[in-house]
Structure 1
Amino acid sequence: MDVLPGGTATFLLLFGAFLGAFAVRSGVRLFRVLRLVRHGERVEGRCSDRRVVDRGSGAENRYRTEYVFAFRTPDGREVEFTDHAPGPFGFEVGAPVRISFDPAAPERRATVAGPGAWGPVLMPTVFAVVLGLFSLGLLFASAAMRGWV
């Protein structure tokens, strides 16, 4: 008895589309970070906090370290934001960092990506490539099972 109409081919198609959506999401994140690194305004900031976030008892990796960065815009506003894993060793609280941000929305679009902190570029790249390849493989397998290729 098949749970889905079309059986395994439909499952592969749906799972491939699901992984593809995450690959596209990671690709969009990568594009935004690279755009900030290339065209954003740069200021000196600091790591203002490093905290451990409890993701709940059902999570595989229950605790995650989150880094909060702060900087002052040229017009004097103090902005704090969190960014993806800054690198393999992280930052100490108070450590100076180079921040790239969008002057139109510094609260929403800022990153520490750049020399010494390539984690915000590396992680979306890995996710986009790996999930994209898995997605393409699953979609190809689904098409092959239906006799389309």
Structure 2
Amino acid sequence: MDVLPGGTATFLLLFGLFLGAFAVRSGLRLLRVLRLVRRGEHAEGRCSQRRVVDRGSGAENRYRTEYVFAFRTPDGREVEFTDHAPGPFGFEVGAPVRISYDPATPDRRATVAGPGAWGPVLMPAVFAGVLGLFSLGLLAAAFATTTG
């Protein structure tokens, strides 16, 4: 009994598109971070908090460490934000960091990516690359199944 019309080809197509969507999302995150590093304003900031987040009992990795960074804009506003995967060893609370941010929306568009902290660049790049390859493989298999 086939659950989906078209059987295996439809499953491969849908799963390939699903992974492709995540690859595109990671690629867009990567472009946003790189744009901030190259063209954003820069400020000296600090790691203001390191907290462990409980993602619930059903999650595979139940606990995740989250880093909160803070900096002051030239107009004197104190901004705090979290960033993805700051690096393999993280940051100590109070550690100085270089912040790149969008002056129009510093609370929504900021990153610690740059010298000494390439995690926010590497993680989206790895996800986009690996998921993109899997997606292309599944899509190729789906089309090979329908034509072969």
Aligned to 2:91: 91
Q: CA deviation at 1:11?
A: 0.0
Matched residue of 1:75: which SS? coil
Query: How many Å separate the matches in 2 of 1:105 and 1:90?
Result: 25
TM-score for both structures, normalised by structure 1? 0.98
- Specify the code of the residue in structure 2 equivalent to 1:47: C
Aligned to 1:144: 144
How many residues are matched? 148
Aligned to 1:68: 68
Q: CA deviation at 1:71?
A: 0.2
Aligned to 1:17: 17
Which structure 2 residues correspond to residues 25-104 of structure 1 after superposition, within 5 A? 25-104=25-104
Query: How many Å separate the matches in 1 of 2:63 and 2:135?
Result: 29
- The superposition leaves residues 94-128 of structure 1 with CA deviations (integer Å, 9 ceiling, x where unpaired) of 00000000000000000000010000000000000
- Specify the code of the residue in structure 1 equivalent to 2:5: P
- The superposition leaves residues 47-67 of structure 1 with CA deviations (integer Å, 9 ceiling, x where unpaired) of 000000000000000000000
- Specify the code of the residue in structure 1 equivalent to 2:64: R
Runs of 4+ in 1 over 4 A off after TM superposition: none
Matched residue of 2:52: which SS? strand
Q: CA deviation at 1:28?
A: 0.3
Let me know the Cα RMSD of the aligned residues: 0.7
Query: How many Å separate the matches in 2 of 1:129 and 1:98?
Result: 27
Aligned to 1:122: 122
Identity over aligned residues, as a percent?
A: 87
Query: How many Å separate the matches in 2 of 1:74 and 1:144?
Result: 57
Q: What runs of 5+ residues in structure 2 fail to find an aligned partner?
A: none
TM-score for both structures, normalised by structure 2? 0.99
Matched residue of 2:66: which SS? strand
Aligned to 1:132: 132
Aligned to 1:7: 7
Matched residue of 2:68: which SS? strand
Query: How many Å separate the matches in 2 of 1:117 and 1:136?
Result: 30
Query: How many Å separate the matches in 1 of 2:71 and 2:88?
Result: 22
Query: How many Å separate the matches in 2 of 1:13 and 1:141?
Result: 8
